């Protein structure tokens, strides 16, 4: 009992809440009891060890010579905010990061672009009347994650594995030797012959000899990237398409593919995969599912700032629908914030319930939905139009297709009830279920809106209430409130939809927007503000070059190809066999599924890949259920014979690589990036090395990073588009491509010249922006445009004026396409295994496997009474183990549990428990939270690491022990399920294949 | 400095308990040479009266301020000059989130200053309360005395440490790091002697609160929209001081009863 009391003092939350200095009073006692004990002497008697200021601001701003302030892009998360990096010139180290006041992701309103740099510092002085207006910020991550640059465990020299894959034993290898080995292949590991890249890069012979339609051998290289940090276009166009493989995947299938696909189907755009975000600034009612401004969201800071401002100074009410009470809520704003607790995975039921109420009670915007064409939209001065009134054929012939005349849809004119071309009708009939005589044929059609009505009415409100965990009364009240703000009601969703029915969930949520017609309205939904021309621009086409390959065949993730177009299907049909089920799922309108690559290759279906090049891709940590597929990666004879990782850290994924090539980290990198969405004006944020990268160098003195590596590899492989004359000027001139700067500086130049070219920089600004080291490179590459290019670099990019985001209450950069109430591509496709036709409108489907079995029939409530979900952290990210600063603020994560639920299973706050799913098990400490849906288990994502310093690593025989602190916390993905109805695959959305990492059936066991 | 050493030896050898005599910071005699000399960083700008206003309607608990302060002021591991407490108020389903950024309140009548036996801590003419780390003898009395627990013993320098409103930046015309980076726009810093400053305008137009007004310290950090339920949780959370007192009391009681102490 005594020791409990002492422990109470040190570890109790009461002490922590009171002091928040973490160490409690015992430290004071220790120090005070030996008054003579010497601590480190601070630099200054009053200022202590505080940083020296970057400048002084009295009558004017005077920059301190010892510091450089350069513009760059933070990648503490995927928002890619523009920041200012403070560098101590004496140590060449980054010491601090703040926001870039020209950049809309860090500031609102942001500075007029032509504001002088001098002024940009003066406006932020302590006595400036505008220092609140132009306050430019960084979040917790942004302020601190630069410390990753200095992680002692960073990979700075190329490595080759010694021992088996995954043993984490390495030797340093000269980069030229590494290139030789991966290009030539051979018995590289005394494990047998490994095919090298030169042999794989074959554009003639087929990758699958029995199926030449699957493309050339070159498809045997698969490149996995991650969220675009501004270098994706470089990798994809200059390397992947020079090598000639169809296989490039980003991280979407483990991040938010269910959302991306659901929004692509709503906008009927499977080429560009656009997505929408609310115009937070002017929104009056925001209904957000899962994702919540200030808790997560992209862009993180912009959403948080606009939420705070709009709910305080304007009319915004933010309603968050989530299993967890998020940081979007605040008691300080009273009724302006509401939390609707929901069962994990209950979002589809809730959204369908809302749609049902809106349709049944006729609360939808009729005159908007009745606009059948662009012409009608223009006549009505509206901002978009939909296919609500278009007619879908119900007969066997052409079932599911729109009724067309030529290429144009036919609709029923509400004026006279006759069939007319949509372009000739101002207001069409919304609800149609009729047979028309077209020529000599009877054609039975239903309007999209009728089909949607049927789908939403196909379940009762009671079912929707039961399956969402939200009462009928709440569903009705929310629906009625949602429609009462005109076009200024918005919706949002993202990673919370990453479960087995997430695609339809997103489609249903977006459909709520169609009901109020909010697309392209101020306060409504926006597809983003676009960007200035960068890679393909005024002076250069940086993405085109002679010999660039038109990649062919099938992608190894089975996306972009319909099963019905495959030889397998055609062969079966020709034999008179039922072509269904296919051997495995196919995804005709999905753009990328990283999470199926290894398992597909292991099954040699559609084919086996030979080499994997992963670039900052940590899918072993990020994918739910990888504990089951690590084995296929581990065995070089299984999924992939040659695994090359470009990664600055040895993590859960790169530890399986055969070779690791270092990469630059954060402010050492190049790039040009626009925000994902959630912004209304053209925005290009640029990055260039603000400090010398720390990695080893190539012979030409370029630090080894992704960008320089692919150039050298490309040259070794004699790939097109590298070296002399590889970069195309629009004037016909050609330039060498030997270094990353040859590409990126020219992208900056394109940006500077787009539309009305930017002004020339003046000498003073070159100094203020710390651009002296770049002057000679700029002059060499840009010639007479160097001062304009420098102007863009000095401001961290190019940013359209804030006022140019709106026009007459609508967005100045509208999404120009049609809204799909019914989507024909979706509605005419079948599931490759069950052969069921997909609903072409949002519809309620309970959680299920790919063979149609319901998740909760197989994993019953009795055995697995709870649903586990993960939430995005407002402080952590998924690669912060190497940031001691972030770990200091939030050093662990927990098994969050509602106290009611905990008492039912006799579990106490702080108790260590096991959480068990059918295919996985994790251990963690319980933390009570009242802000949690009962029966759900919440896990903050980002910790519980097995890499990036958490485990032992041996390099050149020297062991670096894993640090316990980096292991701390819980990784929900270890609970991940397999879809046992497939040959080998983790559980995924049944339509689009996104990794099902939410709403995992689990139970809790006391230890 | 010889004077300092003699002070430290004095406390090591004597058992004299120092009483907190002075009731007002300004009643201290200026035993600090820097202060006596009027060196700027010791005395600040006497025409200013700096305060912090925190508009809780805009705080989103992102911890950018905690992170920025840490970086700016080199606070050691696990120690913070400012931090944002997060609360969940209520029980399911009627739960709300509360955020409370906390920092030194730079009180008008602080309890830390009279507690210091060597006048190492004092209030500048512009209101900022600072610690002269060359004078501090690490006795810890000021840490004990602060009713807000906003002081701590810096584990690197081993002297008392606290928020200085980034005096090093303010003295050069710049904003404190936490204010500069506040994502939600909650933190506002300025001079209330200037009627046109942001802080003056906010305080003139909106009702405001301070923490623990009943202890009489007259804090100069003002909160807008401080819900009384957040205040209640804050007030009910014992300070280290009280926890320690109660703990020591019960340990002493057990000792006098002859119960064995465990290490």
pLDDT digits (tens, 9 = 90+) for B19-55: 333 333 444 445 788 998 999 999 999 999 999 999 9
What are A839-855's pLDDT values in tens digits? 999 999 999 999 999 99
B-interface mutation test, from A106, A137, A342, A904, most B Cβ less than 10 A away: A137
pLDDT band at residue B250 using 50, 70 and 90 as cut-offs: confident
Point out the residue among B67, B140, B259 whose CB comes nearest to the CB of A144: B67
Using alpha carbons, select from A946, A943, A951 the residue that is nearest to residue A970. Answer: A943
Residue B251 falls inside a structural domain: no
Indicate the DSSP class of residue A838. Answer: P
Report CB contact under 8 Å: A32, B139.
yes
Nearest CB partner across the interface for B11, out of A35, A127, A294: A35
- Closest residue in A to B164 (Cα) is A47
Mapped to the 3 state alphabet, what secondary structure does A501-526 carry?
A: CHHHHHHHHHHHHHHHCCECECCCEE
Is residue B263 one of the residues assigned to a domain?
A: no
- Residue A17 is predicted with a pLDDT of 33
Taking CA atoms, A913 is separated from A551, A910, A918, A964, A997, in Å, by 50, 9, 16, 19, 21
From A347, A831, A235, select the one nearest A590 (Cα to Cα): A831
pLDDT of residue B247: 73
Q: Say if the Cβ atoms of B60 and A95 lie within 8 Å.
A: no
Q: Does A544 touch chain B (CB under 8 A)?
A: no
Q: Kindly determine whether residue B262 and residue A330, on different chains, have CB atoms separated by under 8 Å.
A: no
Half-sphere exposure of A726 (CA within 13 A, CB side): 24
pLDDT > 70: what percent of chain A? 96
**Cα–Cα distance measured from residue A710 to residue A242, given in angstroms and rounded to the nearest whole number:** 10
Residue A500 confidence class, pLDDT cut points 50, 70, 90: very high
**Whether B133 and A42 lie within 8 Å, measured CB to CB:** yes
CB proximity under 8 Å: A 308-367 to B: 308-309, 311-312, 325-333, 337, 339, 341
pLDDT tens-digit series, residues B123-169: 999 999 999 999 999 999 999 999 999 999 999 999 999 999 999 99
Cβ–Cβ of B66/A140 closer than 8 Å? yes
| CA–CA min distance A228, chain B (Å) | 24
Look up the domain containing B45 and give its range. Answer: 3-238
**Residue A489's beta-bridge partner residues?**
A285
Q: For residue A628, how far is the Cα from the chain centroid? A: 24
Q: Given an 8 Å threshold on Cβ–Cβ distance, is B157 in contact with A39?
A: yes
- The pLDDT of residue A306: 98
Q: What is the DSSP letter of A587?
A: B
Q: Cβ of B14 under 8 Å from any chain A Cβ?
A: no
Please, are residues A326 and A359 in contact by the beta-carbon 8 Å criterion? no
Please state at what angle helix A706-716 crosses helix A175-184, rounded to 10 degrees. Answer: 50
Q: How many CB atoms sit inside 10 A of residue B37's CB?
A: 11
- Give, in order, the Cα–Cα distances in Å from A826 to each of A264, A384, A495, A820, B125: 11, 21, 22, 11, 71
The answer, yes or no, to whether residue B10 has pLDDT greater than 70, is no
Q: Please tell me if residue A139 touches chain B, with a CB cutoff of 8 Å.
A: yes
Supply the pLDDT for residue B33: 86
A672 pairs with which residues across the strands? A686
Percentage above 90 pLDDT, chain A = 96
Nearest to A140 among B62, B74, B226 (CB): B62
Alpha-carbon torsion (A358, A446, A504, A251), positive or negative: negative
Segment holding A338, helix H or strand E: strand A337-341
Mean pLDDT, chain A, whole residue set: 95
Of B70, B91, B183, the CB nearest to A305: B183
> Per-residue pLDDT averaged across A184-201, rounded?
98
Task: Using pLDDT thresholds of 50, 70 and 90, give the confidence band for residue B246.
Answer: confident
Point out the least confidently predicted range of A757-766, B28-37, B195-204, B226-235. Answer: B28-37
Give the count of beta carbons closer than 10 Å to the beta carbon of residue B209: 17
Taken in order A917, A920, A926, A930, the sign of the CA dihedral is: negative
3-state DSSP assignment of residue A971: coil
Structure confidence by residue, pLDDT tens digits, A783-838: 999 999 999 999 999 999 999 999 999 999 999 999 999 999 999 999 999 999 99
Strands A642-646 and A659-661: parallel
Q: Work out the pLDDT band at B17, boundaries 50, 70, 90.
A: very low
Residues of A in contact with B238 (CB under 8 A): 14, 18
Mean pLDDT of A554-569: 97
pLDDT surpasses 80 at B249:
no
B250 in a structural domain = no
**Which residues 855-914 on chain A approach chain B with CB closer than 8 angstroms?**
874-875, 884-885, 888-889, 898-900
Q: Does B125 touch chain A (CB under 8 A)?
A: no
The answer to whether residue B128 sits within a structural domain is yes
Quick check: A35 and B95 CB within 8 A?
A: no
- Nearest-CA neighbor of A69 among A41, A88, A45? A88
Q: Does A701 touch chain B (CB under 8 A)?
A: no
Query: Measured between CA atoms, how close is B175 to chain A, in angstroms?
Result: 5
pLDDT tens-digit profile of B73-122? 999 999 999 999 999 999 999 999 999 999 999 999 999 999 999 999 99
- Judged against a pLDDT cut of 70, whether residue A27 lies above it is answered with no
With bands split at pLDDT 50, 70 and 90, how would you rate the model's confidence at B237? Answer: confident
Q: Which of A4, A11, A15, A19 would best serve as a mutation to test chain B binding (most B beta carbons within 10 A)?
A: A19
d(CA A506, CA A520): 18
Each residue's pLDDT tens digit, A721-731: 999 999 999 99
Interface test with A, best of B92, B236, B252 (most A CBs within 10 A): B92
Of the candidates B43, B64, B17, which has an alpha carbon nearest to the alpha carbon of residue B182?
B64
B229–A304 C-beta distance less than 8 A: no
Confidence of residue A873 (pLDDT cuts 50, 70, 90): very high
Closest C-alpha to A659, from A644, A637, A640: A644
Average pLDDT over residues A420-424: 98
CB contact under 8 A, A126 and B143: no
- How large is the ipTM? 0.94
At residue B255, the pLDDT reads 66
Q: Which of B85, B184, B11, B221 is nearest to A310 (CA)?
A: B184
CATH number of the domain to which B94 belongs = 3.30.70.20
Q: Does residue A33 belong to the interface with chain B, where contact is any CB pair within 8 Å? A: no
Q: How close, in Å, is residue A123 to chain B by CA atoms?
A: 10
A59/B contact by beta carbon, under 8 A: no
Beta strands in A204-295 (DSSP E): 221-224, 248-249, 277-278, 285-289
pLDDT for res B257 = 65
Residue A771 CA: distances (Å) to CA of A57, B258, B259: 21, 73, 71
Can you tell me the distance from the alpha carbon of A273 to that of A251, in angstroms, rounded to the nearest whole number?
14
In a domain, residue B243? The reply is no
Q: Is residue B258 part of a domain?
A: no
Taking residues A155-168, report their average pLDDT. Answer: 97
In a domain, residue B71? The reply is: yes
The residue-averaged pLDDT of A365-372 equals: 98
Query: Residues with Cβ < 8 Å from A669, sequence gap 6 or more?
Result: A229, A230, A231, A663, A687, A689, A693, A705
Query: Residue A39: its pLDDT value, please?
Result: 87
Percent of chain B surpassing pLDDT 70: 82
Beta-carbon contacts of A468 under 8 Å, excluding residues fewer than 6 positions away, are: A342, A343, A346, A347, A349, A350, A353, A475
Q: Which of A14, A16, A28 is most worth mutating to test chain B (most B CB atoms within 10 A of its CB)?
A: A28
Cβ–Cβ contact B240 with A under 8 A = yes
Q: At what angle do helices B240-256 and A25-33 cross, to 10 degrees?
A: 70
Q: Which residues pair with A519 in a beta bridge?
A: A525
Residues A109-120: what's their mean pLDDT?
98
CA of A95 vs chain B CAs: smallest distance (Å): 8
d(CA A83, CA A102): 9
Contact B66 A889 (CB under 8 A): yes
E strands, A636-703, in order: 642-646, 659-661, 671-673, 683-687
Contact A25 B186 (CB under 8 A): no
Taking an 8 Å cut-off on Cβ atoms, the answer to whether B97 and A325 are in contact is yes
CB-based contact, B103 to chain A, within 8 Å: no
Establish if B249 belongs to a structural domain. no
Query: Could you say which of A14, A23, A884 has the minimum Cβ distance to residue B238?
Result: A14
State whether residue B129 sits within 8 Å of chain A by CB.
no
Q: Determine whether the interchain pair B262/A3 forms a contact, defined as Cβ–Cβ distance below 8 Å.
A: yes
Closest-CA residue of chain A to B40: A46
Per-residue model confidence as pLDDT tens digits over A199-254: 999 999 999 999 999 999 999 999 999 999 999 999 999 999 999 999 999 999 99
Tally of domains within chain B: 1
- Nearest CB neighbour to B64, from listed A96, A140, A899: A140
| pLDDT (0 to 100) of residue B253 | 72
DSSP A457-511: HTS-HHHHHHHHT--HHHHHHHHHHHGGGGGGEEEEE-GGG-STTHHHHHHHHHH
Nearest to A50 among B42, B60, B73 (CB): B73
The three-point CA angle A683-A687-A692 to 5° equals: 170
Q: How far apart are CA A792 and CA A807, in angstroms?
A: 26
From chain A residues 571-590, the ones with a CB under 8 A of any chain B CB are none
Q: Does B24 touch chain A (CB under 8 A)?
A: no
| Residue B64 to residue A139, Cβ atoms within 8 A | yes
**pLDDT in the model for residue A796:** 98
CA distance A963 to A817: 52
| Separation between Cα atoms, residue B19 and residue A923, nearest integer Å | 51
Between these two residues, B243 and A970, which has the higher pLDDT value? Answer: A970
CB-nearest partner of A50 from B72, B190, B230: B72
Higher pLDDT, A339 or B244: A339
Mode of pairing for the β-strands spanning A194-195 and A185-186: antiparallel
């Amino acid at each position: 009992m005594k020791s409990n009391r002492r422990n109470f003092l040190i570890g109790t939350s009461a002490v922590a809440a009171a002091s928040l200095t973490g160490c409690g009073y015992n430290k004071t006692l220790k120090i005070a009891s030996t008054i003579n004990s010497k601590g480190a002497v601070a630099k200054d008697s009053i200022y202590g060890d505080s940083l020296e200021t970057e400048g002084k601001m009295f009558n004017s701003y005077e920059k301190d010579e010892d510091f450089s302030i350069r513009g760059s892009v933070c990648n503490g998360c995927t928002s890619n905010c523009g920041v200012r990096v403070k560098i101590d010139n004496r140590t060449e180290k980054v010491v601090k990061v703040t926001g870039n006041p020209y950049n809309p992701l860090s500031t609102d309103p942001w500075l007029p672009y032509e504001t002088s740099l001098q002024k940009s510092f003066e406006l932020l002085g302590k006595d400036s009347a505008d220092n609140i207006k132009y306050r430019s910020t960084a979040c917790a991550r942004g302020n601190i994650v630069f410390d990753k640059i200095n992680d002692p465990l960073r990979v700075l020299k190329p490595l080759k594995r010694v021992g088996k894959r995954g043993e984490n034993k390495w030797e340093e290898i000269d980069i030229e030797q590494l290139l030789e080995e991966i290009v030539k292949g051979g018995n590289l590991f005394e494990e047998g012959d490994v095919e090298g890249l030169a042999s794989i890069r074959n554009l003639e012979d087929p990758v699958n000899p029995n199926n030449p339609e699957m493309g050339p051998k070159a498809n045997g290289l698969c490149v996995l990237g991650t969220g675009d940090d501004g270098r994706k276009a470089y990798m994809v166009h200059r390397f992947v398409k020079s090598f000639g493989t169809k296989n490039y995947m980003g991280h979407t299938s483990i991040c938010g593919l269910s959302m991306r696909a659901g929004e692509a189907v709503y906008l009927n755009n499977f080429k560009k995969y656009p997505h929408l975000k609310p115009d937070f600034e002017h929104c009056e009612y925001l209904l957000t599912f899962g994702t919540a401004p200030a808790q997560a969201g992209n862009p993180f800071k912009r959403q948080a700032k606009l939420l705070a401002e709009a709910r305080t100074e304007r009319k915004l009410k933010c309603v968050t629908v989530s299993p967890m009470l998020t940081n979007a809520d605040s008691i300080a704003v009273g009724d302006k914030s509401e939390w609707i607790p929901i069962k994990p995975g209950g979002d589809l039921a809730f959204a369908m319930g809302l749609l049902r109420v809106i349709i049944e009670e006729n609360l939808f915007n009729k005159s908007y939905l009745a606009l059948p064409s662009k012409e009608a939209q223009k006549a009505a001065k509206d901002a978009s139009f939909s296919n609500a009134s278009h007619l879908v054929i119900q007969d066997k012939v052409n079932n599911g297709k729109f009724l067309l005349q030529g290429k144009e849809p036919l609709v029923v004119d509400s004026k006279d009830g006759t069939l007319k071309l949509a372009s000739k009708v101002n207001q069409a009939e919304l609800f149609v279920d009729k047979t028309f005589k077209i020529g000599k044929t009877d054609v039975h059609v239903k309007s999209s809106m009728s089909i949607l009505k049927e789908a939403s009415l196909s379940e009762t409100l009671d079912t929707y209430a039961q399956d969402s965990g939200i009462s009928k009364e709440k569903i009705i009240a929310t629906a009625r409130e949602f429609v009462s703000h005109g076009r200024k009601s918005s919706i949002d969703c993202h990673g919370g939809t990453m479960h087995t029915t997430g695609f339809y969930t997103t489609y249903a949520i977006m459909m709520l927007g169609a009901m109020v017609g909010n697309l392209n309205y101020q306060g409504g939904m926006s597809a983003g503000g676009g960007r200035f021309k960068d890679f393909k621009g005024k002076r250069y086409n940086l993405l085109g070059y002679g010999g660039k390959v038109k990649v062919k065949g099938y992608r190894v993730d089975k996306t972009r190809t319909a099963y019905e177009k495959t030889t397998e299907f055609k062969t079966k049909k020709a034999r008179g066999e039922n072509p269904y089920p296919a051997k495995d799922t196919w995804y005709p309108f999905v753009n990328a599924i990283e999470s199926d690559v290894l398992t597909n290759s292991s099954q040699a279906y559609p084919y086996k890949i030979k080499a994997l090049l992963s670039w900052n891709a940590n899918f072993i940590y990020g994918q739910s259920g990888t504990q089951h597929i690590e084995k296929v990666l581990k065995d070089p004879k299984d999924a992939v014979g040659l695994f090359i990782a470009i990664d600055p850290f040895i993590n859960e994924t790169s530890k399986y690589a055969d070779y690791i090539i270092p990469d630059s980290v954060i402010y050492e990198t190049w790039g040009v990036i626009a925000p994902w969405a959630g912004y209304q004006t053209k925005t290009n944020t640029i990055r260039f090395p603000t400090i010398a990268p720390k990695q080893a160098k190539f012979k030409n003195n370029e630090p080894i990073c992704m960008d320089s590596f692919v150039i050298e590899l490309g040259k070794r492989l004699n790939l097109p588009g590298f070296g002399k004359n590889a970069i195309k000027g629009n004037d016909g001139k050609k330039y060498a491509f030997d270094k990353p700067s040859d590409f990126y500086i020219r992208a900056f130049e394109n940006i500077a010249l787009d539309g009305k070219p930017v002004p020339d920089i003046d000498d003073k600004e070159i100094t203020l922006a710390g651009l002296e080291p770049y002057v000679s490179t700029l002059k060499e590459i840009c010639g007479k445009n160097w001062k304009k290019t420098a102007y863009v670099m000095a401001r961290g990019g190019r940013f359209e004026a804030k006022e140019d985001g709106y026009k007459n209450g609508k967005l100045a950069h509208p999404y120009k396409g049609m809204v799909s109430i019914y989507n024909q591509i979706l509605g005419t496709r079948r599931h490759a295994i069950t052969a069921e036709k997909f609903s072409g409108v949002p519809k309620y489907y309970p959680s299920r496997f790919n063979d149609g079995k319901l998740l909760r029939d197989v994993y019953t409530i009795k055995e697995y009474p709870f649903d586990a979900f993960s939430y995005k952290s407002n402080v952590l990210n998924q690669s912060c183990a190497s940031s001691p600063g972030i770990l200091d603020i939030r050093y662990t994560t927990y098994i969050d549990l509602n106290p009611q639920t905990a008492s039912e299973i006799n579990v106490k706050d702080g108790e260590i428990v096991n959480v068990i799913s059918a295919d996985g098990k994790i251990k963690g400490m319980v933390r009570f939270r009242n802000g949690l849906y009962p029966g759900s288990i919440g896990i903050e994502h980002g910790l519980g690491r097995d890499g990036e310093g958490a485990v032992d690593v041996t390099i050149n025989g020297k062991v670096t022990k894993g640090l316990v602190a980096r292991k701390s916390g819980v990784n929900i993905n270890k609970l991940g399920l397999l879809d046992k109805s497939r040959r080998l695959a983790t559980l995924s959305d049944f339509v689009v294949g996104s990794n099902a990492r939410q709403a995992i059936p689990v139970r809790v066991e006391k230890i | 400095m010889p004077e300092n050493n003699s002070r430290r030896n004095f406390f090591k050898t004597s058992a004299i308990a120092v009483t907190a005599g002075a009731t007002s910071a300004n009643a201290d005699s200026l035993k600090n040479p820097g202060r006596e000399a009027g060196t700027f960083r010791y005395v600040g700008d006497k025409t200013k009266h700096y305060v912090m206003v925190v508009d809780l309607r805009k705080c989103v608990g992102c911890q950018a301020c905690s992170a920025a302060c840490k970086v700016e002021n080199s606070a050691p591991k696990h120690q913070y000059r400012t931090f944002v407490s997060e609360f969940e108020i209520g029980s399911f389903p009627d739960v709300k989130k509360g955020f409370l950024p906390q920092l030194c309140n730079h009180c008008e009548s602080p309890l830390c200053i009279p507690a210091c036996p060597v006048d190492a801590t004092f209030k500048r003419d512009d209101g900022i309360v600072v610690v002269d780390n060359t004078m501090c003898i690490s006795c810890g009395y000021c840490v004990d005395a602060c009713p807000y627990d906003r002081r701590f013993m810096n584990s690197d320098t081993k002297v008392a440490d606290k928020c200085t409103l980034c005096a090093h930046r303010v003295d050069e015309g710049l904003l404190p790091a936490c204010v500069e980076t506040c994502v939600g726009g909650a933190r506002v810093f300025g001079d209330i002697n200037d009627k046109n400053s942001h802080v003056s305008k906010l305080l003139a137009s909106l009702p405001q609160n301070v923490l623990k007004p009943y202890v009489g310290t007259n804090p100069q950090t003002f909160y807008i929209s401080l819900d009384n339920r957040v205040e209640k949780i804050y007030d009910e959370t014992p300070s280290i001081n009280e926890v320690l007192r109660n703990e020591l009391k019960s340990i002493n009681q057990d000792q006098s009863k002859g119960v064995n102490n465990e290490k």
